[in-house]
């Protein structure tokens, strides 16, 4: 009897011990789950945010804009890998892929979406009316149906930065580089609203200067070289500006232009570094930094519909005497004196 009683007490003690242990484990798990959902503290003291970035294709000009955005946010307290998660996706030049990326981003509901280039911006705007969207590297947001005719955003969740470059200084440069030019060749993507809008502006402006336009559509990057070669004997100078098909296959254009001895004038630094004679345009990295300031305001809690769309059109002249020689032109002292010579100057990216 004593043995049986002792045995029952022992079993009872073991049961109590087990229950107590399970209770402690349960409490421990609950504490762990709670702490894992808390946002980690950062040096900036700013809460964690998620940013989605998309661009139609990867090429140096758009890539430098993206770097500028991320650097500006880091300097403002939102550092990638710390309190900022950046989801970047390129459409690899495919508009259907751009649409798929836009839908995915809309479903992910990040704190903001940045759309770099006109096709990407159009796709994102079509995909969401709720997530804040910032467009950038768009030369004509009105023609792209991102802004209304009065300059207000097409949707309440939209703002952005465009580079509506004044055309007259570009045409001045064309005639300074090739004073005897009669015909300007323009290879462009007919699927890009900004490129079509520029073609129409050139058609209107060139005849006033005694020049004509020879425009050649190129639907894909692989068409750029052939389209450029079709200018042989028909164009005296080539002009291109912010066309993503051209930019992604720019070496094909420069190779053809070198063979034909036709100078190329563009509107961004990297086109000159990749083979153009000259370019008059905005600095891509600085363009990204300015875009980043707009994104920062959204991440910091400002409503996107209180941030007015902006235009950045401070122009910098870039030249390459080496590429000019390859394309059978020489640059005047006046042009060289007011330009950045990329042949002996590191790129804006290399300086960082």
Taking phi first (over 0 means left), then psi (-120 to 50 degrees means alpha), and beta for anything else, what does residue 284 get?
alpha
**Closest residue by Cα to residue 84 from 124, 114, 116:** 114
pLDDT tops 90 at residue 28:
no
**pLDDT number for residue 242:** 87
Q: What pLDDT, on a 0 to 100 scale, did the predictor assign at position 235?
A: 98
Joined together, the tokens standing for residue 18 give 């087990």
Q: How many other C-beta atoms are found inside a 10 Å radius of the C-beta of residue 326?
A: 17
Q: Do 145 and 192 lie in a common domain?
A: no
Do 290 and 272 fall within a single domain? no
Q: Both 277 and 288 in a single domain?
A: no
Residue 305 lies in a domain: yes
Is 307 inside a domain boundary? yes
29 in a structural domain: no
Question: Do 252 and 214 have their domain in common?
Answer: yes
User: What per-residue confidence (pLDDT) applies to 347?
Assistant: 76
91 and 236 co-located in one domain: no
- CB within 8 A of 136, min separation 6: which ones? 65, 69, 114, 115, 116, 121, 160, 161, 162, 287, 288, 291
Give the residue numbers spanning the domain of 55.
Answer: 49-164+284-311
Sheet containing strand 264-266, strands side by side: 212-217, 183-188, 237-239, 264-266, 278-281, 316-319, 340-341
Q: Is 90 exceeded by the pLDDT of residue 37? A: no
Question: Is residue 119's pLDDT more than 50?
Answer: yes
Strands 237-239 and 264-266 turn out to be parallel
Mean residue pLDDT across the chain:
88
Q: Is 176 left (phi over 0), alpha (psi -120 to 50) or beta?
A: alpha
38 has pLDDT over 80: no
Considering the domain architecture, whether residues 198 and 336 belong to the same structural domain is answered as yes
Return left, alpha or beta for 348; rule: phi > 0 is left, psi -120 to 50 is alpha, else beta.
alpha
pTM of the predicted model, to two decimals?
A: 0.80
Looking at the structure, tell me whether residues 60 and 136 fall in a common domain.
yes
Q: What is the DSSP letter of 47?
A: P
Q: What are phi and psi of 249, to 5 degrees?
A: -130, 35
Sheet holding 84-90, edge to edge: 84-90, 49-55, 112-116, 133-138, 158-162, 310-311
> Is the confidence at residue 5, as pLDDT, over 50?
no
DSSP structural state of residue 153: B
Q: What is the pLDDT of residues 146-195, one digit of tens each?
A: 999 999 999 999 999 998 889 999 999 999 999 999 999 999 999 998 89
* 306 falls within a domain: yes
- Residue 44 within any structural domain of the chain: no
333 shares its domain with 221: yes
Query: Does one domain contain both 120 and 257?
Result: no
pLDDT attached to residue 42? 53
- Report if residue 31 sits inside a domain: no
CATH assignment of the domain containing 194: 3.40.50.2300
Q: How far apart are the first and last CA of the chain?
A: 87
Distance CA 17, CA 186 (A): 84
Is residue 126, in this structure, part of any structural domain at all?
Answer: yes
- Residue 196 has a pLDDT of 95
* 191 in the same domain as 159: no
Q: Are residues 101 and 200 in the same domain?
A: no
Which of 301, 152, 98, 267 has the alpha carbon at shortest distance from 198?
267
pLDDT reported for residue 14: 39
Task: Work out how many domains the chain is built from and give that number.
Answer: 2
Asked if residue 180 is part of any domain, the answer here is yes
Residue 350 has pLDDT above 80, yes or no: no
DSSP 225-267: HHHHHTTTTT-SEEE--S-HHHHHTHHHHHHHHHHHT--EEES
Please indicate, yes or no, whether residues 183 and 262 belong to a single structural domain of this protein: yes
């Amino acid at each position: 009897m004593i043995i049986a009683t002792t045995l029952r007490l022992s079993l009872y003690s073991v049961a109590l011990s087990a229950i107590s242990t399970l209770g402690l484990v349960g409490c421990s798990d609950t504490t762990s789950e709670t702490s894992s959902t808390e946002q980690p503290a950062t040096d900036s003291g700013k809460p964690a945010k998620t940013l989605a970035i998309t661009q139609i294709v990867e090429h140096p000009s758009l890539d430098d804009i993206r770097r500028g955005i991320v650097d500006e946010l880091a300097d403002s307290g939102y550092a990638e890998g710390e309190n900022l998660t950046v989801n970047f996706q390129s459409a690899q030049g495919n508009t259907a892929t751009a649409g798929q990326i836009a839908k995915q981003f809309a479903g992910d509901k990040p704190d903001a979406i940045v759309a770099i280039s006109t096709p990407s911006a159009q796709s994102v705007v079509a995909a969401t009316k709720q997530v804040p969207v910032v467009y950038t590297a768009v030369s004509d947001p009105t023609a792209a149906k991102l802004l209304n005719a009065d300059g207000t955003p097409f949707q309440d969740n939209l703002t952005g930065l465009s580079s509506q470059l004044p055309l007259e200084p570009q045409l001045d440069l064309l005639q300074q580089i090739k004073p005897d030019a009669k015909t300007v060749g323009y290879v462009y993507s007919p699927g890009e609203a900004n490129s079509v809008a520029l073609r129409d502006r050139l058609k209107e402006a060139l005849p006033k200067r005694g020049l004509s336009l020879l425009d050649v559509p190129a639907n894909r990057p692989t068409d750029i070289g052939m389209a450029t070669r079709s200018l042989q004997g028909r164009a005296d100078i080539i002009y291109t500006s912010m066309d993503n098909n051209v930019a992604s296959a720019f070496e094909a254009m420069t190779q053809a232009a070198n063979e034909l001895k036709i100078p190329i004038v563009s509107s961004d630094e990297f086109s000159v570094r990749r083979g153009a004679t000259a370019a008059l345009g905005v600095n891509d990295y600085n363009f990204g930094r300015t875009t980043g300031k707009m994104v920062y305001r959204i991440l910091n809690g400002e409503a996107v519909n209180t941030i007015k769309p902006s235009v950045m059109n401070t122009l910098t002249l870039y030249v390459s005497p080496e590429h000019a020689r390859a394309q059978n032109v020489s640059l005047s002292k006046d042009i060289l004196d007011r330009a950045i010579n990329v042949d002996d100057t590191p790129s804006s990216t290399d300086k960082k």
